Amino acid sequence: MLTAPVPADNQRPPAAASKRMLVWRRFTRHRLAVAGLAITALLAFVSLFGEFFAPYSAEYYRADYAYAPPQRVRLLDGGWNPHAYGYTSTADPETFEVVWDVDTSVKIPLGFFVRGESYELLGLVESDIHFFGPRDPDAAAPVYLLGADRNGHDLLSRIIVGTRVSMSIGLVAVALAFLLGVVVGSVSGAIGGWVDSLLQRIGEGVLSLPTLPLWLGLSAALPPTWDPLKRYVAISAILAMTAWTTLARAVRSRFLSLREEDFVRAAYVDGARLPRIVFRHMLPSFSSHLIAALTLSVPATVLAETSLSFLGLGLQPPVVSLGVLLHDAENIRVVTSAPWLLLPGVVLVAAVLALNVVGDGLRDAVDPYQAGRP
């Protein structure tokens, strides 16, 4: 009598797909999101190993090549021999406009995996191999595929490095905001009462401030003597200060709806204390939603950093970010004569769009109300 009969259907195999598998399956059904993920991954990969992929370092410059337009790569020269030609620059005597002419006498052979400036990959591996570049590291003329800025830096190399800075500051700021948001949201949702009211009013207060003036004020208050790393962390913290509120609200609302679930009541009856209920029982059941919300807030933060730096109040040269690069293009005269300086903006738009569609796709994939739609 002690042992009840084992139900017959107990022997059937358990449902095969885990929740993660199901989310991934739904995500891959979203074509645009998959494309976005591919673009994001490509950008992340290239910029992470930026020193390798960039033909020059961000600091390399040739003053005589300031505002040099993008150079064309020619692949054939009586056979497979990729090369570019150098430039001669002459100033128009009347307008003082610099005119660039292709100088076919200076031929710069190009190649893959060539030796160039030495660098430390991820601060670990020392190397001087670049993905591509002039075969002769001491070539007479540089090869600037996307042109040069006003100091004669290679724009391509700087975009690669700048993308890394911009995307990483987005991630760091969102990580900070996430930490703050989850803690505040959990406390608010799990404890409730006047603590909840107080935290929510603070969040609403922050939300009601216009963000741009707030950022401007805070970053203007940063001591100009700080070194780039300190400044980098400080800017991330400033961006996180406004981003946490929306996350905290999302976390809190999830908590409020979960609190009424029977399994949370059961955990309470089972003697679990509050921290265990919050972190062991409740948070895991909406972690996927948090990840989706997080992915969606990364592009916003990337944009925020860019606008700050564009206004000259975010990161400062010599640090390179997409915003710092765009700072050069704030002048209409520059833009008309050297339109390639807007290219960092193109990369920015691509990155933000890609991150946005990934976030959208992820949100739809974890949304149970979308489940079951083929």
Which residue do the tokens 């003082």 mark? 96
Show contacts of 364-367: CB within 8 Å, 24+ apart. Answer: 364/26, 364/30, 364/33, 365/23, 365/24, 365/26, 365/27, 365/30, 365/33, 365/292, 366/23, 366/288, 366/289, 366/291, 366/292
Asked if 324 and 162 touch (Cβ cutoff 8 Å), the reply is yes
The upper half-sphere exposure of residue 135, i.e. CA atoms within 13 Å in the direction of its Cβ, equals 9
At its nearest, how many Å lie between other proteins and the CB of residue 358?
A: 22
Which DSSP state fits 340? G
Among 247, 267, 338, 357, binds other proteins (CB under 8 A): 267
Q: Which stretch binds other proteins (CB under 8 A): 76-84, 202-210, 268-276, 296-304?
A: 268-276
Query: Which residues share a beta bridge with 133?
Result: 111
- Between CA 278 and CA 373, with CA 246 as vertex, the angle to 5 degrees is 80
Closest CB to other proteins among residues 281, 363: 281
Give the C-alpha separation, 309 to 235, whole Å. 10
Is 5 one of the binding residues for other proteins (CB under 8 A)? yes
Closest CB to other proteins among residues 4, 332: 4
Among 249, 252, 254, 281, binds other proteins (CB under 8 A): 281
Among 272, 291, 342, 353, binds other proteins (CB under 8 A): 272
Give the C-alpha separation, 161 to 144, whole Å. 15
Among 229, 269, 318, 333, binds other proteins (CB under 8 A): 269
CB atoms within 10 A of CB 23: 20
Give the C-alpha separation, 339 to 289, whole Å. 41
Closest CB to other proteins among residues 245, 288: 288
CB atoms within 10 A of CB 213: 9
Q: Helices (H) and strands (E) in the chain — how many of each?
A: 13, 4
Is 101 one of the binding residues for other proteins (CB under 8 A)? no
Is 270 one of the binding residues for other proteins (CB under 8 A)? yes
Of 206-265, binders to other proteins (CB under 8 A) are: 261-263, 265
237, 236, 250, 261: which is closest to 287 by C-alpha? 250
Closest CB to other proteins among residues 223, 368: 368
Among 221, 271, 318, 332, binds other proteins (CB under 8 A): 271
Is 368 one of the binding residues for other proteins (CB under 8 A)? no
At its nearest, how many Å lie between other proteins and the CB of residue 20?
A: 11
Closest CB to other proteins among residues 12, 72: 12
At its nearest, how many Å lie between other proteins and the CB of residue 249?
A: 19
Q: Which stretch binds other proteins (CB under 8 A): 5-13, 100-108, 217-225, 299-307?
A: 5-13
Closest CB to other proteins among residues 52, 268: 268
In terms of phi and psi (left: phi > 0; alpha: psi -120 to 50; beta: otherwise), the region of 342 is alpha
Contact map string, positions 167 to 206, toward other proteins, x by CB under 8 A: ----------------------------------------
Among 25, 31, 201, 230, binds other proteins (CB under 8 A): 25
Among 20, 72, 273, 333, binds other proteins (CB under 8 A): 273
Is 374 one of the binding residues for other proteins (CB under 8 A)? yes
DSSP SS3 for 118: strand
Among 20, 72, 333, 373, binds other proteins (CB under 8 A): 373
Residue 318: is the preceding peptide bond cis (ω within 30°)?
yes
Binding residues vs other proteins (CB under 8 A): 1-10, 12, 14-15, 19, 25, 261-263, 265-273, 276, 281, 284-285, 372-374
